[in-house]
Chain A
Amino acid sequence: AQTVTQSQPEMSVQEAETVTLSCTYDTSENNYYLFWYKQPPSRQMILVIRQEAYKQQNATENRFSVNFQKAAKSFSLKISDSQLGDTAMYFCAFYPGNQFYFGTGTSLTVIP
């Protein structure tokens, strides 16, 4: 069975600081994709960053980067220089090729 676990239901960070959201997953697949999606309050879910499992290099998108540890099945998201607009629910998602499996989300609040 494929499962995705986000152990931090809520987090907060001061504006301009760095925060790391954790995600672990369980699978027997060897080839898959991992995603972080952001869902701002009352707005639609959008893709933040994507990581291919066969790539050792961690993905980076501007202030967002991941720490992908395949052996540990860990996929954390680091947000640098946090901005007020980063306040949102963040979902980690695992995609082995047939369907997406989502974690329960982490609610991040950026404090001015």
Chain B
Amino acid sequence: DAMVIQNPRYQVTQFGKPVTLSCSQTLNHNVMYWYQQKSSQAPKLLFHYYDKDFNNEADTPDNFQSRRPNTSFCFLDIRSPGLGDAAMYLCATSREQGRAHEQYFGPGTRLTVT
């Protein structure tokens, strides 16, 4: 039973061409997260939504935007991808914020920039 779904699993885009990655969840969780994970590195939090409240990490580039039109869906928009944006993008959810709540991860979207 898929709980956090990411589409597509693999995405190729051209340098500077906008791209959107999508995430959906069947868990009805309040919090959704986007992480960037480069090879051999730890996942890096880009932003998260608590319900409709958007929280941007201080060092997330302006090139990255996010939308959450409803509880189930969250999108990551990269306005002008650069070669350095090639990475695995992970979506995660948690029921609430707080120390007890684990995160549930999707399978990730691997983005290639040509």
Contact = CB atoms under 8 A, between A and B. Distances in A.
Nearest to B91: A44
Interface in B44-63: 45, 48, 57
Interface of A is mostly: loop
B41 A104 contact: yes
Nearest to A9: B40
Query: Considering residues B42, B103, B104, which has the most beta carbons from chain A within 10 angstroms of its beta carbon?
Result: B42
A35 interface: yes
Interface of B is mostly: loop
A33 B94 CA distance: 14
Contacts of A47: 102-104
Interface string B73-112: 0000000000000000010100001111011111110000
A105 B99 contact: no
Given A44-B4, A104-B41, A105-B42, A33 B100 contact: yes
A4 B102 contact: no
A48 to B, nearest CB: 10
Interface of B: 4, 40-43, 45, 48, 57, 90, 92, 97-100, 102-108
9 contacts: A4-B42, A33-B99, A35-B102, A42-B107, A50-B102, A91-B42, A95-B99, A96-B99, A100-B43
